Amino acid sequence: MPVTGGLSWSLVGPDRSVVQPVERYLAWLTHIERSPNTVRAYAHDLKLYWSFLAARKLAWQAPTVESLGEFTAWLRAPADNVVVLVGGDARRERRTVNRALSAVIGFYEYHQRNGMQFASSVIDYSRSGRGNYKPFRGSRHRCGQGGIPIPALSRDFAR
């Protein structure tokens, strides 16, 4: 980062240019002093999300609850080039899937708070519980200028 001299991460698209929406979010995480390991993990998770969007030919600006559910299933399924042995389990762990969903939801929360409008059912809640990422302090009980309460989501929302 030019101001702090710290390291940050970027997502590069198939055209070899930086994916600007992700770049702004990752830079913001760095500016608010999130752990470099968290920023790196979120960059990786958003890369997976962008790969999912490309494979399904979906636009990042139009998330739906269904597409996030498909992303969860996509994360849990073994890769196309993986052979699952009898009794084996080639999917990602629940904690890894939850972290990836936290990265994606945090990404959308960030952009909505910066003026973009998304389907309210996708991001109109706050996370609670131990270990979950809370990008906006103070948003746990109230959101926006109207002070509308937001229902909490359970810790393990990728089950």
From residue 112, alpha-carbon distances to 3, 40, 117, 123 in Å are 26, 22, 6, 9
Work out the average pLDDT over 139-155: 40
The average confidence (pLDDT) of the chain is: 74
Q: Which of 95, 105, 98 is nearest to 126 (CA)?
A: 105
| pLDDT score, position 39 | 92
Work out the average pLDDT over 78-87: 63
Q: Is 22 helix (H, G, I), strand (E, B) or coil?
A: helix
Q: Nearest 5 degrees, angle CA 81-CA 58-CA 32?
A: 95
- pTM exceeds cut of 0.75: no
Q: How far apart are CA 153 and CA 136, in angstroms?
A: 15
| pLDDT score, position 110 | 92
| pLDDT score, position 120 | 58
Identify which has the larger pLDDT, 139 or 103.
103
Which CATH fold would you assign to the domain 20-153? DNA polymerase; domain 1 (1.10.150)
Which region among 33-37, 48-52, 138-142 has the lowest average model confidence (pLDDT)? 138-142
From residue 123, alpha-carbon distances to 42, 82, 148 in Å are 17, 33, 14
Checking if the pLDDT of 126 tops 60, the result is no
Checking if the pLDDT of 70 tops 80, the result is yes
Checking if the pLDDT of 15 tops 70, the result is yes
Length of the chain: 159
- Predicted confidence (pLDDT) per residue in 19-37, tens digit: 899 999 999 998 898 888 9
Checking if the pLDDT of 82 tops 50, the result is yes
